[in-house]
């Protein structure tokens, strides 16, 4: 099993290209099920989750092709992926595939809207919490679907005339449920109003793509979205927006190690809350025509107090990375996690570096220390794993990060991007 070896202590200087957002690419790929015509997606990141979703969509009959690289193309530029769901050959998403990636459950929306039926395995729990699909199923029922749970599967059926628009009000903000209802409503008869919708940039990106495909959507990015259903959608071409979580991760890495990095292609407006926290911690954040520049030269790391929240608040997906940064702060920091339960499992691993962190329910208190020491550590989930990399970059001596398959799910060529900026980092295979 692969591991990552880091020798810490070096500043990061240079340029890091930001890949396409995984959290946008996955729902965009699933949207290909809504039309028999070809959906072309540019700037698709080369990640394990993307590869798995290609297989899942292929199981439904989607033809997936990846365009070859041009001779002048940058090595870090994303793929161009063409998805053609000319004929849906199977409306079942089996357990062995859905259990490996929760986002694959989202196929229930477009399959139901286009084919009138779907049989999708319930995803079950995961390392950072249960994240139930009740909101998904209740929303689809509001559009007229009948839902039965049998043998661990959700069996969804639309009425003979197809789904019908309705008013879907989520009791709690859910990105996944908003994606699913947005896709299903695009082919429903009449108007759908989605209330308490997620406001994440990835929601807007999906809506923009659906509009290119012929959908009629207003309000994406706000808490209320209006969708006027259409009889059919057509093919389109769309470019995946830059990954704000990758952007924030590398920004925190340079804030922790010191140095000066240009995050190429990043958009500050996608991550204002996190950049405001970084500025409070002592980093300098500057938007440029090429991306976002982050630097920390000489000044120490100031303590921060942060509570995670749905967009536009501080992202839960950057909570672990911020905790690593705060472990070297000059004082006491506090991080409260409000989105997912069980998302503090990285605390024990950060402690192996010498970090001083105490937990009280959903709040972590971090007492900054003068130095961290390299250590062998174990990744527990995607975002926790990269927090260990950040800590290792700033620690003295050698760090070995185990279970790096978590990293491969969400970070494209992390070692290559960091090593070209002065980090001593390598992948150990076998």
Tally the C-alpha atoms within 13 A of residue 278's C-alpha that lie toward its C-beta: 29
User: Which residues are known catalytic residues?
Assistant: 126
Question: For residue 298, what are the CA distances in angstroms to 273, 324, 371, 394?
Answer: 24, 19, 15, 14
369 is in an annotated binding site: no
Is 175 marked as a binding-site residue?
A: yes
Count CB neighbours of 184 within 10 A.
Answer: 30
Q: How far is it, in rounded angstroms, from Cα 27 to Cα 44?
A: 12
173 is in an annotated binding site: yes
What is d(CA 245, CA 423) in angstroms, rounded to the nearest whole number? 20
To the question of whether residue 172 is assigned a binding role by annotation, the answer is yes
**Ligand-binding site membership of 174 (annotated):** yes
Q: What residue numbers does the annotated binding site cover? A: 22-23, 102, 172-175, 317, 339
Q: What residue numbers does the annotated binding site for phosphoenolpyruvate cover? A: 22-23
Q: What residue numbers does the annotated binding site for UDP-N-acetyl-alpha-D-glucosamine cover? A: 102, 172-175, 317, 339
């Amino acid at each position: 099993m692969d591991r990552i070896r880091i020798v810490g202590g070096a500043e990061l200087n240079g340029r890091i290209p930001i890949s396409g957002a995984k959290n946008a690419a996955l729902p965009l790929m699933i949207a290909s099920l809504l039309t028999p015509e070809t959906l072309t997606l540019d700037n698709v990141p080369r990640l394990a989750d993307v590869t798995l979703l290609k297989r899942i969509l292929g199981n439904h009959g989607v033809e997936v092709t990846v365009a070859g690289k041009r001779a002048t193309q940058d090595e870090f530029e994303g793929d161009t992926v063409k998805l053609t769901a000319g004929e849906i050959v199977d409306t079942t998403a089996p357990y062995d595939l859905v259990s490996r990636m929760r986002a694959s459950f989202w196929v229930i929306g477009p399959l139901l809207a286009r084919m009138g039926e779907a049989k999708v395995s319930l995803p079950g729990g995961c390392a950072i919490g249960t994240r139930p699909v009740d909101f998904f199923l209740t929303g689809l029922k509001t559009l007229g679907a009948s839902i039965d749970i049998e043998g661990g599967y959700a069996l969804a059926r639309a009425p003979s005339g197809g789904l019908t628009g309705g008013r879907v009000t989520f009791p709690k903000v859910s990105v996944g449920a908003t994606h699913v209802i947005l896709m299903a409503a695009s082919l429903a008869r009449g108007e759908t109003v989605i209330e308490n919708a997620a406001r994440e940039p990835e929601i807007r990106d999906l809506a923009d793509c659906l509009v290119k495909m012929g959908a009629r959507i207003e309000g994406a990015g706000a808490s209320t979205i209006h969708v006027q259903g259409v009889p059919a959608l057509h093919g389109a071409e769309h470019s995946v927006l830059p990954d704000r979580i990758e952007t924030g991760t590398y920004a925190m890495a340079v804030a922790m190690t010191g140095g000066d990095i240009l995050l190429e292609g990043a958009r500050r407006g996608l991550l204002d809350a996190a950049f405001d926290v970084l500025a409070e911690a002592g980093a300098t954040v500057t938007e440029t025509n090429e991306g976002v520049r982050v630097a920390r030269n000489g000044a120490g790391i100031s303590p921060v107090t942060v509570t995670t929240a749905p967009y536009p608040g501080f992202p839960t997906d950057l909570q672990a990375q911020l905790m690593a940064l705060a472990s070297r702060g000059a004082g006491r920091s506090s991080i409260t996690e409000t989105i997912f339960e069980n998302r503090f499992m990285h605390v024990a691993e950060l402690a192996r570096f010498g970090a001083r962190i105490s937990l009280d329910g959903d709040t972590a208190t971090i007492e900054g220390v003068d130095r961290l020491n390299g250590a062998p550590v174990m990744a527990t989930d995607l975002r926790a794993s990269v927090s260990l990399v950040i800590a290792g970059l700033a620690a003295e001596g050698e760090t070995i990060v185990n279970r790096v398959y978590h990293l491969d799910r969400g970070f494209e060529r992390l070692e290559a991007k960091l090593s070209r900026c002065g980090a001593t980092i390598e992948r150990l295979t076998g």
